[in-house]
Amino acid sequence: MEQQIAELTKSGAMLGTIQLEIFYWWCTAIMILIHAGFLAYEMGASRAKNVLASGVKNILAFAFIVPTFFFFGWWIYLAFPNGFIPVEAGNAGLPWAQDMGPNLKDNATGVFWAAFVLFAATTASIFSGAVIERIRVSAFVILAISLGSGAWILAASWGWHPDGWLLTKFGYHDVGCAGLIHVVAGFFALGVLINLGPRIGKFNKDGTTNDLRPHNIPMVLIGLMLIIVGFFGFLGGCAILNPGAQWTNIYGQPMTLSAYAFNTLMCFSGGIIGAWITTRDPFWMMSGALAGIFVAAAGLDIWYPPLAFLLGMVGGAIIKPGNDFLVKMGIDDSVGAVSVHGFAGVLGVMAVGVFAAGYPNPGDAPDTSFVGQLVGVIVMILCGFIPGYVISLLLKSIGILRVPDEVQEVGLDIAEIPSKAYPEAAGYKSGSLVPAE
């Protein structure tokens, strides 16, 4: 009898372990839809002469984030919860550690690492859209790695890790990464855009602007909807499955996936409606859906759903004015990423401080608070803006950041890509050059 109980207990524990593995495996798979979406979105948002160059850039962001996150990204997450001094526990994330590969005694590290890789690649893709049509691919890859496998994951170590100082000292609460991913990526993009400059033809000498329209709005809309689908995998990956016990959020507070279901759908809808009210433009409506999710993301586990809806409406409503403000400042953000991710993310982090203060944290960590969220959002802005600005300034100073203006006029595809996006389209301007090889 005792032996049977022991065997059943062992079998139950293994079942729980495999359940955990399967859950994060499929979260990761669904998250890849985010990248399918960003790919369609960025290509659609480009003009016809730059479609494939934008696609190549986006694909390479994903491709380079995966190995670099293996080389050092996961180690950064585990090693720096206290600030800039690495802790010994980080050694488990070193690329030669026994956990960093097939291991029959560790079912968890691989699937957690994979989920974090997709978070990292999402971060890089957010930045990617802002800089299309004039950034050099090599510079972009360097910046994407710096963001996805560096800046973002350092912020995550501070504000998401159970020992992260933003949690243990300030009670920072950001379960869906409003600050950790969207603020960091949005302000990283802003730092780069300042040095990169606008697309040729965006601004006139008299200070007026030209509307460089996407060449394929339907592709943009489908891409944005794919991103929304992928975010369900993303948000699932932000929850901790505890076999045999209640879900917890990344901070160890109890939660349910039902909470995410209520609030994600409500803020998604609010975002669309908010953007529709202020713009009537489908491009901004679907961007509003994203912004709606980001404004509610930090507290997705705790919102009363109609509050999430209202937060989403605010997010959707502010993104176009936010982008218009940037244009007035001379910033050409090709897809509005700074506003959609950066500005909406700031509101999202602060929404927890305003509407959700006082929730208890595990251990000695302070309760959620306005001050804790304010400190957190300032840290996130700096984590994004400083590396984005400094690294792009360095690349600019050695002349490898921006595509020359005359190449921009001809089109990046004809200059760089040995293929054509629409070879049979009537009126397709192929230029006098043969495609690059």
**Is 329 near other proteins (CB under 8 A)?**
no
Dist. CA 374–CA 382, nearest whole Å: 13
Contact residue for other proteins among 10, 12, 19, 101 (CB under 8 A): 101
**Smallest distance, other proteins to C-beta of residue 436, A:** 5
Dist. CA 232–CA 305, nearest whole Å: 17
**Smallest distance, other proteins to C-beta of residue 185, A:** 21
| Nearer CB in complex with other proteins: 204/432 | 432
DSSP 228-255: HHHHHHHHHHTSB--TTS--B-TTS-B-
- Residue carrying the six token digits 């984030």: 65
Are the CB atoms for 214 and 413 separated by under 8 Å?
no
**Is 10 near other proteins (CB under 8 A)?**
no
Contact residue for other proteins among 12, 83, 95, 218 (CB under 8 A): 95
Q: How many residues bind other proteins (CB under 8 A)?
A: 32
Are the CB atoms for 370 and 353 separated by under 8 Å?
yes
Contact residue for other proteins among 38, 64, 158, 232 (CB under 8 A): 64
**Smallest distance, other proteins to C-beta of residue 414, A:** 8
> Which of 326, 329, 296 lies closest to 310, judged by CA?
296
**Is 68 near other proteins (CB under 8 A)?**
yes
Dist. CA 206–CA 204, nearest whole Å: 5
**Is 419 near other proteins (CB under 8 A)?**
no
**Is 321 near other proteins (CB under 8 A)?**
no
DSSP 127-177: HHHHTTTTB-HHHHHHHHHHIIIIIHHHHHHHHTSTT-HHHHHH----TT-
**Is 98 near other proteins (CB under 8 A)?**
yes
| Nearer CB in complex with other proteins: 85/434 | 434
Interface mask (CB under 8 A) for other proteins, residues 370-409, using x and -?
------------------------------x--xx-xx--
Dist. CA 363–CA 159, nearest whole Å: 16
Both tokens assigned to 61: 């962001």
Residues in 114-153 that interact with other proteins by CB under 8 A: 136-139, 141-142
* Residues near other proteins (CB under 8 A): 64, 67-68, 71, 95-96, 98-99, 101-106, 136-139, 141-142, 400, 403-404, 406-407, 410, 414-416, 432-433, 436
